[in-house]
Structure 1
Amino acid sequence: MMAEIIAENRCFGGRQVRFRHRAESVNCEMVFSVFLPSSSRHQKVPVMYWLSGLTCTDENFVTKAGAQAAAEALGIAIVAPDTSPRGDDVPDDPEGAYDFGLGAGFYVNATQAPWSTHYRMYDYVLDELPAVVGETCPVDVSRAAISGHSMGGHGALTIGLANPDRYASVSAFAPICAPTECPWGEKALTHYLGDDRSAWQAHDACEVVKAAKQHLPVLVDQGSADDFLAEQLRTRRLMEASEGAAYPMTIRLQAGYDHSYFFIASFIESHLRFHAGNLA
């Protein structure tokens, strides 16, 4: 289960490392990136998992978010997996669209052929990735938080809120809040899970909130100038669902910010500090 190092760089006194391993849950080789703060040389450190959005790999967050300096200061590791299975045998959107298939795993366990052979990102993120990280890195995987952006924000919310025993806190940037009600989500969930919309509910943050028996600290940031806000992200639906379920969340609308990594870089330190307070 150990992973091999394929790249390593010194970064803010810590190490930015890229790993490759054979992943059983998704039936292919997977790559993930880990920032290890300098404190990990002496002790196991807590971890924040970062789930990226459509079209991304494990490298987008690493090179664009500027998170390493804060993670070094706080003594937190950051693990960034890929956004889908990869390889010649892994099926892709037959039309080559960006919002489904490769780079668009949506963090679900597909039940429909041909996707079900590889597209099991929910199990990969929840179980297999932490097991590999725990064996490979000086990381205390029992002290974990989860965060993400857009499709990855959807993944962080649905996986985190449904598994409160596995995470200390959850955060998201511009998450797809109601994928059962937006074009991105409807396309992906139809292909991965089939036409029975009741099977989709476990992957809709608004529905997961309603069913939650245990509450975690949750922080969500959404830019007011995000071009995807009205049609695809539906942040208002998450506000309504959390209020209706009496699930306390901090949901902030950040004036003038868009959907880009400039937005993430502007607020990632506050998210890391939020998680550090809950991982202590």
Structure 2
Amino acid sequence: MKTVSTSKSHGGVQGVYSHASEVCACDMTFAVFVPPQAKDGPVPVLWYLSGLTCTHANVMDKGEYRRLAAELGLMVVCPDTSPRGDGVADEKDNWQFGQGAGFYVDATQEPYAKNYRMYSYVTEELPALISANFPADMSRQGIFGHSMGGHGALTVALKNPGRFKSCSAFAPIVQPSTAGWSKPALEKYLGPDSADWRAYDATLLIDDGNRFPEFLVDQGTADGFLNEGLRPWLLEEACEKAGIALSLRMQDDYDHSYNFISTFMDDHLRWHAQRLAG
């Protein structure tokens, strides 16, 4: 692991790091905010998964999480959204696929299977790296994310309910197997059989019996992707049918941007902190 940069913030340290990923077969970069309480021992870990076109840096620069994370004693880990590099397969003219759009799946189709293994990266390789190199209490982990990253957070939590104590999302893609901007990506990464996509679709995971105690979801009513791509009511229907507690908050006049995310970031941090306290 290499340190790219570190900077003191609100008594803690915001760092950016890189490493040679065996899972993704390329160099990967990630960000970690370590709160001041970590001087006294391991602290809870909150994972943030970003959306399409983003890197680790978007939420770090625009998410406004450090002040309250420092107050609450939360470590915030921000992975990249996909593998990167000249040798990584890509569609440079397609912002909904390829580099910047890994969708947190393990690709099975060539030429993507070699590098696009973001599910294994964020659930296995990067957690092992965090555990070995940072004062992280891995018995207290939460996960949240935005848009494509909200999709990732929901699916990761549903598939790993014993690892995560909390999960929330900002404007998540709740049913990527039928949404116009994610269905083509799943087909390219996972193949033409839509049955293979179910493992990365929150609503279908719930239909198939996966469970998580509760979710918090914020969604802006002025989000241009609301009706075609995000459709939170599908998650609401799935959770109601399965008996999963869902707090779906429709926020009037908010869009899909980091202005929306930063507005409700404090609410999400406090929500996670309460569930990670024990």
Which TM-score applies when normalising by structure 2? 0.98
Query: In 1, Cα distance between the equivalents of 2:212 and 2:179?
Result: 26
Provide the residue aligned with 1:204 in structure 2: 201
Structure 1 position 108, deviation (Å):
0.2
Provide the residue aligned with 2:228 in structure 1: 231
Find out whether 1:109 has 2:106 as its counterpart: yes
Provide the residue aligned with 2:129 in structure 1: 132
Provide the residue aligned with 1:275 in structure 2: 272
Deviations 1:98-153 (A, max 9, x none): 11000000000000000000000000001111100111111112210000000000
Provide the residue aligned with 1:62 in structure 2: 60
Query: In 1, Cα distance between the equivalents of 2:269 and 2:248?
Result: 16
Unaligned runs of 5+ in 2: none
Structure 2 counterpart of 1:14, which letter?
Answer: G
| Greater alpha carbon shift after TM alignment, 98-107 vs 39-48 | 39-48
Residues 157 and 170, structure 1, Cα contact 8 Å, conserved in 2 = yes
Provide the residue aligned with 1:81 in structure 2: 79
Q: 1:86 to 1:237 in 2, by over 3 A?
A: same
Structure 1 position 212, deviation (Å):
3.6
Provide the residue aligned with 1:22 in structure 2: 20
Find out whether 1:12 has 2:17 as its counterpart: no
Structure 1 position 80, deviation (Å):
0.1
Structure 1 position 64, deviation (Å):
0.1
Structure 1 position 13, deviation (Å):
0.9
Residues 215 and 247, structure 2, Cα contact 8 Å, conserved in 1 = yes
Provide the residue aligned with 2:175 in structure 1: 178
Residues 211 and 244, structure 2, Cα contact 8 Å, conserved in 1 = no
Provide the residue aligned with 2:145 in structure 1: 148
Query: In 2, Cα distance between the equivalents of 1:249 and 1:4?
Result: 39
| Secondary structure, counterpart of 2:143 in structure 1 | strand
Residues 178 and 204, structure 1, Cα contact 8 Å, conserved in 2 = yes
Residues 159 and 210, structure 2, Cα contact 8 Å, conserved in 1 = no
Query: In 1, Cα distance between the equivalents of 2:101 and 2:211?
Result: 29
Residues 223 and 255, structure 2, Cα contact 8 Å, conserved in 1 = yes
- Compute the RMSD of aligned alpha carbons: 0.9
| Secondary structure, counterpart of 1:165 in structure 2 | coil
Structure 2 counterpart of 1:31, which letter?
Answer: T
Task: Name the count of aligned residue pairs.
Answer: 277
Query: In 2, Cα distance between the equivalents of 1:180 and 1:20?
Result: 32
| Secondary structure, counterpart of 2:245 in structure 1 | coil
Query: In 1, Cα distance between the equivalents of 2:195 and 2:210?
Result: 20
Query: In 1, Cα distance between the equivalents of 2:182 and 2:243?
Result: 25
| Greater alpha carbon shift after TM alignment, 214-223 vs 157-166 | 214-223
Structure 1 position 216, deviation (Å):
2.4
Find out whether 1:33 has 2:34 as its counterpart: no
Provide the residue aligned with 2:242 in structure 1: 245
Query: In 2, Cα distance between the equivalents of 1:4 and 1:136?
Result: 11
Query: In 1, Cα distance between the equivalents of 2:188 and 2:31?
Result: 28
Query: In 1, Cα distance between the equivalents of 2:123 and 2:215?
Result: 18
Residues 220 and 254, structure 2, Cα contact 8 Å, conserved in 1 = yes
Find out whether 1:264 has 2:261 as its counterpart: yes
| Secondary structure, counterpart of 2:222 in structure 1 | coil
Of all paired residues, the percent bearing the same amino acid is 48
Residues 111 and 193, structure 1, Cα contact 8 Å, conserved in 2 = yes
Query: In 2, Cα distance between the equivalents of 1:247 and 1:212?
Result: 11
Residues 158 and 210, structure 2, Cα contact 8 Å, conserved in 1 = no
Unaligned runs of 5+ in 1: none
Query: In 2, Cα distance between the equivalents of 1:213 and 1:82?
Result: 26
Q: 1:213 to 1:96 in 2, by over 3 A?
A: closer
Structure 1 position 213, deviation (Å):
4.8
Query: In 1, Cα distance between the equivalents of 2:200 and 2:20?
Result: 26
| Secondary structure, counterpart of 2:6 in structure 1 | strand
Choose the corresponding residue for 2:160, options 159, 163, 166: 163
| Secondary structure, counterpart of 2:142 in structure 1 | strand
Residues 115 and 192, structure 1, Cα contact 8 Å, conserved in 2 = yes
Structure 2 counterpart of 1:109, which letter?
Answer: D
Query: In 2, Cα distance between the equivalents of 1:207 and 1:118?
Result: 25
